[in-house]
Amino acid sequence: MTETTETIKTSTGRVLRTEEMVVNMGPQHPSTHGVLRLEVVLDGEIVVDVIPHMGYLHRCFEKHCEHMTNYQQVVPYVDRMDYVAAMTNEFAYVVAAEKLLKIEVPERVHYIRIIMSELQRIASHLIAIGTFGIDMGAFTPFLYYFRDREKILELFEMTCGARLLYNYIWIGGLSHDLPPGFIEKTKEFCKDFKTTLKEVNDLLNYNEIFIKRTANVGVLPKDLAINYACSGPMLRGSGVNFDLRRDDPYTMYDKFEWDVIVGKGEMGAVGDVWDRNMVRQREMWESLRIIEQAIASLPEGDVQKAIPKRIRPVPGDAYGRVEGPRGELGFYIVAEDSVTPYRIKARAPAFVNLSVINEISKGAMLADLVAIIGSIDIVLGEVDR
Amino acid sequence: MTAQEINEILKAQFGDAVLEGKLENVPDPFVKVQPERILEIAAFVRSDERLQFDYLMCLSGVDYKGKLGVTYHLYSMVHRHKFVLKVEVPTETPNIPSVESVWKTADWHEREAFDLYGINFTGHPDLRRILLPYDWEGYPLRKDYQTPEYYNGMKVPY
């Protein structure tokens, strides 16, 4: 760390000394969204350096997986990584495992997985934008969004009995088929939710104060985003037109029509905090489009037909990835001739996205650092695993 | 570009440094390369116009019992192709050049591999633990790891 000491003389001849100061933000700070500790080096109010310290929520997820008696038993563990988007975690793990085991699942399973994963994306973005609004001093959107998120959780609850940690998507299939009434309720939700989206869009995203707080803050240039392997809204906010659902399609995403949302720098520079937030906001519309199409063409079939009785893969390894709400969620599975996974590594998008924080917050004000953390949308359960 | 073509480009450029691999009938085609030349190879695959692997998807440490390995999952945003590089080093001398200077994202991934496997990434600017406490002893994801009885006077297995 460089210590710069300057001496300034006041008009009365008194000597003022200025020097850098280290401030600890977290682990119990409301705007770090969990137990993250940032060691912030400040020059007055300007951020000179940010050194993140994490691991407060490390639960040895990868070590636990090596001690399972079955590949299927890993699913409840991956739920607990990113606890606000558990469906996507299961989805990613299952995509990797099915790639390793070369399992083909029925079309109906693909469709239901996509519906669940898009509902989960909406639920996760609702938290991201809602809490980000609170960080910026807007409390009302949070209440609107949590009201509607509750409806999604009800849909999940009626499907598998759990509201947050589902254990729903299994290797080769699903734990339950859709319950009676699910389709109607989802259709109703899609219809009602559009009203909320419009309301909050006017209330939050085009609010003058909100724009002043977020435009031109924490700008992440395109090449830096790729070099840091940022993904999801973080990457697209920087103007990179890339979405795994379209560019590396898994399951049946190539059957649906929707658009990839990219940040355009409408309120300031491309890749600022406003852009990242807006990508999330607009992505929810696209998710609704996918859900509506999937529901309209949902095929019939047995969702448990392809579930293997006993899983013993050929030795080898596979890396599977999906587009989670936070970005590229990947699982790297190494298998030996055994029923137990030899090694599972989770490539957590929040972990990778957070690593760029030092680069984009240099020179920002301390108050803007709160905006930057909020816009990265970290979930510490996933960062620390 | 297919895995075979990528492999041929690597073989033409680096010769003996490219060891055996599996390019067919596997979920992700890979080649093993000599660990001491990984930085050179990484810089090449990132800058070469035919390959342009500008996106490091994932970097994972693996314990192969007696050997430690690192797997690099590469992706090209320009050409939209994938490839996997693997290196292996003996557990006694786990030194692998850091690729942090090529892909910045490797910084935290390498710290994680150091934290959990004790792989020493030479040339890494800030190699310290990332998930475990800074004073933790041992590397928990190694297959021969014994959980310590006490950590700072607290009983560990409960």
pLDDT at residue B133 tops 80: yes
Does B84 contact A at CB distance below 8 Å? yes
Which residues touch A309 (CB under 8 Å, ≥6 apart)? none
Task: Give the Cβ contact number of residue B80 at 10 Å.
Answer: 11
The predicted pLDDT at position A6 comes to 61
Residues of chain B with pLDDT > 90, as a percent, come to 26
Q: Is residue A16 part of a domain?
A: no
Q: Domain range spanning residue A119?
A: 62-360
Cβ pair A79, A165 in contact under 8 A: yes
In a 3-state reduction of DSSP, which class is residue A310? coil
Query: Under an 8 A CB cutoff, do A330 and B57 touch?
Result: yes
**Interchain proximity B58–A330, CB inside 8 Å:** yes
Q: Which of B105, B129, B140 sits opposite A63 (nearest CB)?
A: B140
Domain count, chain A: 1
What are the structure tokens assigned to A58, written together? Answer: 């490390």
Q: For residue A342, list its beta bridge partners.
A: none
CA distances from B96 to A205, A355, B111 (A): 47, 21, 13
- Position A366 in a domain: no
Mean pLDDT value across residues A217-231: 90
Which of B30, B53, B57 is most worth mutating to test chain A (most A CB atoms within 10 A of its CB)? B57
Report CA dihedral (A367, A371, A376, A377) to the nearest 10 degrees.
Answer: 110
Question: Does residue A122 have a pLDDT over 90?
Answer: yes
The pLDDT-based confidence of A352 (bands split at 50, 70, 90) is very high
Average pLDDT across chain A, whole number: 87
H or E element in which residue B86 lies: strand B82-90
Average pLDDT over residues A346-352: 91
- CB contacts of B76 in chain A (<8 Å) are none
In this structure, is residue A377 part of a structural domain? no
Query: A358 in helix, strand or coil?
Result: helix
Radius of gyration of chain B, Cα coordinates, nearest whole angstrom: 17
Q: How far apart are the C-alpha atoms of A302 and A289, rounded to whole Å? A: 25
Of B27, B58, B141, the CB nearest to A316: B27
| Alpha helix (H) residue ranges in A54-106 | 61-65, 74-79, 86-101
**What's the CATH number where A217 sits?**
1.10.645.10
Distance of alpha carbon A122 from alpha carbon A323, whole angstroms: 13
- Looking at the complex, report in whole angstroms how far the Cα of residue B41 sits from the nearest Cα belonging to chain A: 17
pLDDT value at A1 more than 50: no
A375 within some domain: no
In this predicted structure, the answer to whether residue A39 has a pLDDT above a threshold of 70 is yes
Give the separation between CA A60 and CA A53, rounded to whole angstroms: 17
Residue B57 to chain A, least CA–CA distance (Å): 7
Q: Is the pLDDT of residue B30 over 80?
A: yes
pTM of the full predicted structure? 0.89
* Amino acid A4: pLDDT: 52
Residue of chain A minimizing CA distance to B102: A227
Pairing of strands A316-323, A15-18: unpaired
Which of B 41-60 lie inside 8 A of A, CB atoms? 54-58, 60
In chain A, which residues touch B (CB < 8 A)? 54-55, 58, 60, 62-63, 66, 99-100, 224, 226-229, 240, 242, 247-248, 316-319, 321, 328, 330, 332, 334, 343, 345, 347, 351-352, 355-356, 384-385
Asked whether residue B143 carries a pLDDT value surpassing 90, the answer given is no
| Residue A376 pLDDT exceeds 70 | yes
Region B97-114: what's the mean pLDDT? Answer: 91
In a domain, A372, yes or no: no
H or E, element range at A132: helix A107-135
Give bridge partners of residue B21 from the DSSP assignment: B31
Q: Decide: A163 and A94 in contact? Cβ < 8 Å.
A: no
**Straight-line distance from the first to the last Cα atom of chain A, in angstroms, rounded to the nearest whole number:** 29
Q: For chain B, which domains are there?
A: 3-138 (3.30.460.80)
Q: Distance (Å) from the C-alpha of residue B18 to the closest C-alpha of chain A? A: 20
A57 part of a folded domain: no
Give the mean pLDDT of A234-243: 90
Nearest of A141, A197, A177 to residue A303 by alpha carbon:
A177
User: Which carries the bigger pLDDT value, residue B7 or residue B120?
Assistant: B120
User: Could you tell me the end-to-end alpha-carbon distance of chain B, in angstroms, rounded to an integer?
Assistant: 52
Question: What ipTM is given for this predicted complex?
Answer: 0.90
Using the beta-carbon criterion (under 8 Å), do A318 and B63 form an inter-chain contact? no
pLDDT tens sequence across B55-87: 999 999 999 888 899 999 999 988 888 899 999
pLDDT tens digits for range A67-78: 877 888 889 888
